[in-house]
Amino acid sequence: MIRDSLRLRLLAAAAVAIFVALVMAGTGMSWFFERHIEQREADALIRDGKLIAGGLRVDAAGRPVADVQPGDDRYGEAGSGLYWQLTTSKGSAHSDSLWDQNLPLQPGSDREDWRARHLPGPFGKSLLMVERRILPEQAAEPVLVQLATDDGPLHAARREFNRETALSLGLLWLFLLIAAYVQVTLGLRPLTTVRRQIATLRGNPAARLPGGHPREIAPLAEAINALAEAREADLGRARKRAGDLAHSLKTPLAALAAQNRRAREAGAVEAADGQDRALAAMRAALETELARSRAAAARDAGHSLAADIETQIENIIAVIERTELGERLIFDVHMPDELHVPVASEDLTELLGALIENAARHARVRVRVRGGMAEEESQLWIEDDGPGLGRESSEAVMARGSRLDEAGPGHGLGLAIVSDLMQATDGTIALGRSELGGLEVRLAWLVERSPAAPRKSAFLRWMTRHR
């Protein structure tokens, strides 16, 4: 599991590194503490030792005598844990606290400066002992001065210190772990952002990651954008090839139709009829494929703004006005400035071209194209003053999930491209009666394309189907 998660890996590494660092710090602190308190104890012993040395002499028998003794009562209390002892080769003197015991004489006790060391002492206790040789005035040989203290309390203090330090360092470890978690989370946040942005790339070949990434993530975003560009180019090429193939078949189809016409003129009427039906089926299949390929390309391909939409509608009207179909019609276009729809210009031209042409086909004198923004929806209405669909036909069309091309012949809505493009751009279609008297086709898109949008639009599709 740790292998799979960058966060866990970073956290585990941080936990181990911080733990090792804290253990090392704890060990060091313990060592310094122990050295410090030992030094203090040794200093206290040396102080007493110097006091004794001040009144040190050797009697006539050559035995050492301490004329001055330290004031600490523990030197007079047997087994108290605080001792002094003076030794020459002729004899020794010691504090009452040693009772009948002696401080051990160790090799290396002949130094002439104070030296501290640990060693086992009387009464089964371990001792911290300081010692040096001092040559009193008029003495024939030096006296070994030894002072010792029971090191049990030192060990107890060290244990106490270690326990408290371990507890503190444990708490510090937890705190640093939390800090590491926050740091890792903050550090990985740009990746989460990139991941969210990549999710939008998935549905939209034209989308790119926006800029503004941290310096470390920017090359990744650039690489992803380069990949998206390559993918879009591949898609574009594939679609173009499919479109070119479909288009290239159209001229041969026209040629077949021409030959068929000759066959009909030569008397082969029945064969020509059959061929015509086959040609019509082939043409329909080509148109459907072209519509599909265009719809696939239209998926989140871009946005069109009001000025753009109006220009496209005027261009379409300019085409229709020149045909017999449109030359007698009045076209009425109203687009509010704030309108924008999630459909790229070219696709919108195809979509509106098919619908306006259809409206023109059925209009008496007038076709109206309106746009509007309502709540989070962009809407377009294409209306005519023709006979309309009639309530039953409208309901029948809507009940089939608003696929206009499945509405069948009779109401002139063989508009595969409209359904496919609306579906591809997460839009909805509703048919109704226009106040002009004819059919009203209402197109709507949710314009706030947040992650929740697809769910909303699925809901809208459901609403459309069940209205």
Partner 1 sequence: MRVLVVEDDPVVGPDLAQALREAGFAVDLSIDGEDAWYRGDVEDYALAVLDLGLPKLDGLSVLKRWRSEGRSFPVLILSARSDWTEKVEGIQAGADDYVGKPFAMGELVARVRGLVRRAAGHASPLLAVGRVTLDTGRMTATVDDRPMRLSPLEYRFLDLLAHRPGRFLCASEIAEHLHGTDDAADANAIEALVLRLRRKVGPDVIESRRGFGYMIAGS
Q: Site residues (CB under 8 A) for partner 1?
A: 247-248, 250-251, 253-259, 261-262, 279, 283, 294, 312, 315-319, 321-324, 326-333, 346, 349-350, 352-354, 364-366, 368, 385, 436-437
Q: How far is the CB of 294 from partner 1 (least distance, A)?
A: 8
Closer of 93 and 417 to partner 1 (Cβ): 417
Report which of 293, 289, 300 is spatially closest to residue 344, judged by C-alpha positions: 300
Contacts of range 137-140, beta carbons closer than 8 Å, 24 or more positions apart: 137/57, 138/57, 138/58, 139/57, 139/58, 140/58, 140/62
Q: Which residues contact 248 (CB under 8 A, 6 or more apart)?
A: none
Closer of 42 and 416 to partner 1 (Cβ): 416
- DSSP letter at 101 equals -
Q: How far is the CB of 351 from partner 1 (least distance, A)?
A: 9
Q: How far is the CB of 231 from partner 1 (least distance, A)?
A: 24
Closer of 250 and 456 to partner 1 (Cβ): 250
For 90-224, list the strands marked E by DSSP: 92-94, 115-120, 126-134, 143-150
Q: What SS3 string covers 80-98?
A: CCEEEEEECCCCEEECHHH
Task: Determine contact, residues 367/360, Cβ cutoff 8 Å.
Answer: yes
CA distance 183 to 189: 10
Q: How far is the CB of 252 from partner 1 (least distance, A)?
A: 8
Burial (Cβ within 10 Å: 0-12, 13-18, ≥19) of residue 79: middle
Closer of 218 and 279 to partner 1 (Cβ): 279
Q: How far is the CB of 393 from partner 1 (least distance, A)?
A: 22
The DSSP string of 360-425 is HHH-SSEEEEEEEEETTEEEEEEEESS----HHHHHHHHHTTS-GGGG-TTSS---HHHHHHHHHT
What is residue 432's three-state secondary structure?
A: strand
Q: Residue length, the chain?
A: 467
Closer of 86 and 329 to partner 1 (Cβ): 329
Q: How far is the CB of 248 from partner 1 (least distance, A)?
A: 7
Q: Which residues contact 191 (CB under 8 A, 6 or more apart)?
A: 6, 217
Closer of 47 and 334 to partner 1 (Cβ): 334
CA distance 404 to 420: 10
Closer of 138 and 251 to partner 1 (Cβ): 251
Angle subtended by helix axes 269-298 and 416-424, to nearest 10 = 20
Closer of 318 and 452 to partner 1 (Cβ): 318
Closer of 89 and 323 to partner 1 (Cβ): 323
Closer of 309 and 398 to partner 1 (Cβ): 309
Q: How far is the CB of 207 from partner 1 (least distance, A)?
A: 22
Q: How far is the CB of 256 from partner 1 (least distance, A)?
A: 8
Contacts of range 155-163, beta carbons closer than 8 Å, 24 or more positions apart: 157/37, 158/30, 158/33, 158/34, 158/37, 161/29, 161/30, 161/33, 162/26, 162/30
Q: How far is the CB of 257 from partner 1 (least distance, A)?
A: 5
Task: Determine contact, residues 439/452, Cβ cutoff 8 Å.
Answer: no
Closer of 217 and 279 to partner 1 (Cβ): 279
Q: How far is the CB of 390 from partner 1 (least distance, A)?
A: 19
Q: In this structure, are strands 366-374 and 330-334 parallel, antiparallel, or unpaired?
A: parallel
Q: How far is the CB of 449 from partner 1 (least distance, A)?
A: 24
